[in-house]
Amino acid sequence: MPSPARENLFRSAGVVSAAIFLSRISGLVREQVMGALFGASSESDAFVVAVRIPNLMRDLFAEGALSSAFIPAFTRSLGNDGKAAAAKLSNLVAGSLVAIVGSICLLGMIFSPQLVQLFASGYHEIPGKFELTVQMTRIMFPFLLLVALAAQAMGILNALNQFGVAALSSTFFNVGSVIFGLSAGYLIGPRFGISPIVGMAYGVLCGGAWQLLWQMPSLVREGLAFRPSLVIGNYFAHPGLRQIFLLMGPALLGNAATQINVTVNTNFATSITDAAGHVMSGPASWLQYAFRFMQLPLGVFGVAIASATLPSVSRSAAAGDMVEFRATMARSLGIAMLLTVPSSVGLVVLGPSMIGVVYERGAFHAQDTHQTAVALSCYALGLVSYSALKILAPAFYALNDARTPMLVSLGSIAVNYGVAYALVKRVGMGHAGLAFSTSMVSIFGSVALFLALRRRIGGLEGRKLSLSAAKICAAAAVMGAACMASSSFIMGRGFASPQWARVLDLAVSAPLGLLVFYGVSRALRVEELEAAMAAAAGPLARRFGFAGGRR
């Protein structure tokens, strides 16, 4: 029988999954709008690089190092010292963010030309492309401070087991960025000489503000509204703040390695040439559109499970309960495999139909669909590892160990550069080689962290996880074969409209794949599937008056 703890983890992850699903769908709609309006053009490439620069800083300071260090410290302060002490710690962190991240935003706006040169030196070869990228980078840099504060608010709510509101905040960013972006680009912008693509840059800034404001009422109700304050003198005098800074130091170095990898790959992407040796327009956009599809299962499953896991393992670590710590980590990894292995197979097999249905209209052409699908297949190979990294890395911070993730991240630089250089410059795989190198980095990182954590805590129920992995992979292989057969049959019928063929393919092949995966998993008695069903059935049973299967 599935344990109550396993079912509770499923339920917590389920709440986050539902909210993140809405977020990822709204993000997909945002990318759909961008694709229809701008396709894979020079303007689109410029926007992708411009928004990537502050986003990299976001990963570094907000959703990366800060979240990983803040949640364990806040959870420990809340549990040991009470809400007033936790609120004081939160306000000190907010004040530090305003001072430090605000200064970084200002410097980023000043030195935007140098940053764009670092990321996309190849854009000089296309008239106006470099200058447009610099302009939009300056517009969007303040987004970093807004999203850093939003990430802190999300950490507080997660520590209070309020997962839904925090997870929905990204939906408000996506919706806001589209509404405000279209308004700025097409309604207000023409009066002030603002082009549509620049209007979308202003939309990103407004969307970031909406993401933060959405969470404020929940913080106010909990008595934890932001009142930013600063430590005058020694920052290390406050124990909670000292713990956060000590954890953030190695975490910043580790996350910096990830940003170096992204910078390297962006530089490769913006300098890919065609057969005549001219820099191409499109690779950066194809990679962005493909990774947006990856973010749907990654967010709904990987991020959701990680968000539900971190507060739990932080409490176990604070109490010194390593038995529960090991059990929670093993449950989380098993759940992640159950959900991401079939998702990975589905993205590879049905990716062309998905991308065609969502993107292929307006300025987004059949060639863009093909190239984006190729990138998606390469990204999908690393989906399981991406999700595992989201779960494994924060576990080390809960153990006050930021050094191990840092060392693994630093090692990933060599892996990424070596694979990317070989595949792009030597093999000639172009943007697909960059997507593949990203997957290889995630596989390297997840394996290294898994082995290190297993050694650190004395095991991770390895035999049980291995058995579950074998069963899940077998079920996913059967599912993939069924989807491939169904898809090939439908797409080979010679429909007059390719779009209707793709719609029919998804309408038939995707449900068929789910049914096959479910049936084979039940036949193989995959334990994680049983726990998932029990977690889903529990609320229904309570709602209709059932208990233990009896009225």
Q: What percent of the chain has pLDDT over 90?
A: 39
Average pLDDT over residues 357-363: 89
Torsion of CA 183, 167, 68, 62, to 10 degrees: 10
Stated pTM of the model = 0.72
Distance of CA 136 to the CA centre of its chain: 23
pLDDT surpassing 70 at residue 255: no
pLDDT score, position 114 = 95
pLDDT digit string, tens, across residues 191-246? 888 899 999 999 999 999 999 999 999 999 988 888 887 765 555 567 777 777 77
Assess if residue 284 is contained within a domain.
no
> In whole angstroms, how far apart are CA 19 and each of 162, 167, 219, 325?
12, 5, 18, 26
pLDDT surpassing 50 at residue 283: yes
pLDDT score, position 481 = 97
Cross-strand partners of 550: 547
pLDDT score, position 234 = 55
Average pLDDT over residues 166-184: 90
Assess if residue 112 is contained within a domain.
yes
- Which token pair is 255? 């996350």
pLDDT score, position 398 = 82
Assess if residue 453 is contained within a domain.
no
Assess if residue 226 is contained within a domain.
yes
| Ramachandran angles phi, psi of 547, nearest 5° | -145, 125
Task: State how far the Cα of 285 lies from the Cα of 281, in Å rounded to an integer.
Answer: 8
Task: State how far the Cα of 489 lies from the Cα of 542, in Å rounded to an integer.
Answer: 44
Assess if residue 541 is contained within a domain.
no
Average pLDDT over residues 155-163: 81
Assess if residue 345 is contained within a domain.
no
The residue assigned the tokens 């292995």 is 341
pLDDT surpassing 60 at residue 303: yes
pLDDT surpassing 50 at residue 542: no
Task: State how far the Cα of 272 lies from the Cα of 260, in Å rounded to an integer.
Answer: 18
pLDDT surpassing 70 at residue 293: yes
What does the H/E/C string look like for 405-462? HHHHHHHHHHHHHHHHHHHHHHCCCCHHHHHHHHHHHHHHHHHHHHHHHHHHHCCCCH
134 in helix, strand or coil? Answer: helix
pLDDT band at 483 (very low <50, low <70, confident <90, very high): very high
Task: State how far the Cα of 42 lies from the Cα of 280, in Å rounded to an integer.
Answer: 9
- Which token pair is 34? 């961008």
Assess if residue 194 is contained within a domain.
yes
Domain containing 46 equals: 39-263
pLDDT band at 302 (very low <50, low <70, confident <90, very high): low
Task: State how far the Cα of 263 lies from the Cα of 266, in Å rounded to an integer.
Answer: 5
Number of domains in the chain: 1
Contact 170, 247 (CB under 8 A): no
Q: Which H or E element spans position 377?
A: helix 366-380
Task: State how far the Cα of 99 lies from the Cα of 102, in Å rounded to an integer.
Answer: 5
pLDDT surpassing 90 at residue 426: no
- Which token pair is 33? 């709008």
pLDDT score, position 546 = 43
- Which token pair is 65? 């190092």
% helix, strand, coil for the chain, step of 5: 85, 0, 15
pLDDT score, position 541 = 45
Task: State how far the Cα of 432 lies from the Cα of 545, in Å rounded to an integer.
Answer: 53
pLDDT band at 5 (very low <50, low <70, confident <90, very high): low
Assess if residue 429 is contained within a domain.
no
**Most confident stretch, 89-98, 142-151, 342-351, 409-418:** 342-351
pLDDT surpassing 90 at residue 509: yes
pLDDT surpassing 90 at residue 75: no
